[in-house]
């Protein structure tokens, strides 16, 4: 599903991602962990073209972003990748003046030009899937952070993505609301969605992911199965990180 070769990303003179190569098969659930500033968000943002890349190639479901291709060619591939990718951020970014169901319908109406009744039926189903059937007509301000984030997940799912990217989806939530969002993500993983999740929730990473990528200083330092990573981290960096967070 994803093939990354020699990915490099600079911001000005700073090399933020250093020659990352990696492949992720369909249906795999990958948790990306590591210290703040190590490049995790930048890595996700490169995958769906929110950042231009400095070097290398990123292939998602057959579409190739090549740092050496023309800007226009890259942009076309980025559009194709975005159509297949859902992204969920730490901040939920819902439209404040639209209800939950209208938020989920929006892209179906605007991007897919779907008739209203059909969009509504899909959106209502998705809200039910994330446990919010009763909140269809609520505005974001009337929802808890955990409910808003579940609406954001339903909204991303409306476009039927083949890949879901999550950037610290529970970091802005009060502790008691984290579990309801992780539960929805876990169900999505069990449904077979290909997912890359940047998270600080180590218990979740261990139980829901198939694979852990530990990043530090723009490099993937460890790439291992969760049990192996958490029980026997190979590098001093990972050992120190795990001591600090667990």
Residues 97-156 interacting with Mg ion (rule: CB under 5 A): none
Residues 19-48 interacting with Mg ion (rule: CB under 5 A): 40-41
Choose among ligand ADP, Mg ion, none what residue 86 binds, the Cβ cut-off being 5 to 8 Å by kind.
none
Choose among Mg ion, ligand ADP, none what residue 79 binds, the Cβ cut-off being 5 to 8 Å by kind.
none
**Closer residue to ligand ADP (CB): 181 or 216:** 216
The distance of closest approach from Cβ of residue 48 to ligand ADP in the complex, given in angstroms and rounded to an integer, is 14
- Per the document, the length of the chain is 246
Q: Which of 96, 99, 100, 53 is nearest to 77 (CA)?
A: 53
**Closer residue to ligand ADP (CB): 39 or 226:** 39
Distance between CA 102 and CA 123 in Å, rounded?
8
Q: Helix 100-110 to helix 145-157 angle, to the nearest 10 degrees? A: 20
The distance of closest approach from Cβ of residue 8 to Mg ion in the complex, given in angstroms and rounded to an integer, is 18
CA distances from 114 to 6, 35, 100, 109, 122 (A): 39, 42, 18, 5, 10
Choose among ligand ADP, Mg ion, none what residue 37 binds, the Cβ cut-off being 5 to 8 Å by kind.
ligand ADP
Give me the residue label for tokens 């995790």.
40
Residues that bind ligand ADP (CB under 6 A): 11, 16, 36-42
The distance of closest approach from Cβ of residue 201 to ligand ADP in the complex, given in angstroms and rounded to an integer, is 15
CA distances from 171 to 4, 88, 246 (A): 27, 12, 16
**Closer residue to ligand ADP (CB): 39 or 145:** 39
**Closer residue to ligand ADP (CB): 36 or 141:** 36
**Closer residue to ligand ADP (CB): 41 or 149:** 41
| Farthest CA pair distance, the chain | 56
Distance between CA 160 and CA 232 in Å, rounded?
37
**Closer residue to ligand ADP (CB): 43 or 204:** 43
Q: Listing from the earlier edge strand, what are the strands of the sheet with 163-167? A: 85-88, 163-167, 194-198, 29-33, 211-216, 219-224
The distance of closest approach from Cβ of residue 60 to ligand ADP in the complex, given in angstroms and rounded to an integer, is 19
The distance of closest approach from Cβ of residue 224 to ligand ADP in the complex, given in angstroms and rounded to an integer, is 19
What are the beta bridge partners of residue 22? 4
* Residue 170 in the binding site for Mg ion (CB under 5 A): no
User: Which chain residues interact with Mg ion by CB under 5 A?
Assistant: 40-41
């Amino acid at each position: 599903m994803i093939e990354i070769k020699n990915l490099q990303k600079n911001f000005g003179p700073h090399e933020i991602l250093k020659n990352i190569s990696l492949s992720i098969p369909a249906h795999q659930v990958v948790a990306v962990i590591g210290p703040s500033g190590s490049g995790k968000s930048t890595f996700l943002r490169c995958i769906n073209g929110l950042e231009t890349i400095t070097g290398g190639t990123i292939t998602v479901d057959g579409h190739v972003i090549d740092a050496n291709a023309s800007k226009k060619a890259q942009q076309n591939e980025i559009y194709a990748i975005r159509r297949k990718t859902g992204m969920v951020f730490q901040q939920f970014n819902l439209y404040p003046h639209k209800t939950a169901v209208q938020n989920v319908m929006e892209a179906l109406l605007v991007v897919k030009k779907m008739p209203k009744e059909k969009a509504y039926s899909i959106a209502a189903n998705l809200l039910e899937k994330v446990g919010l059937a009763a909140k269809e007509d609520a505005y974001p301000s009337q929802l808890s952070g955990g409910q808003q984030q579940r609406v954001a997940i339903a909204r991303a799912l409306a476009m039927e993505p083949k890949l879901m990217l999550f950037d610290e989806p529970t970091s802005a939530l009060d502790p008691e609301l984290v579990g309801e969002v992780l539960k929805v993500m876990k169900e999505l993983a069990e449904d077979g969605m290909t997912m890359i999740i940047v998270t600080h929730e180590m218990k979740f990473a261990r139980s829901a992911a198939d694979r852990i990528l530990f990043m530090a200083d723009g490099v993937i330092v460890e790439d291992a199965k969760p049990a192996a990573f958490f029980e026997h981290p190979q590098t001093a960096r990972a050992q120190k990180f795990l001591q600090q967070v667990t």
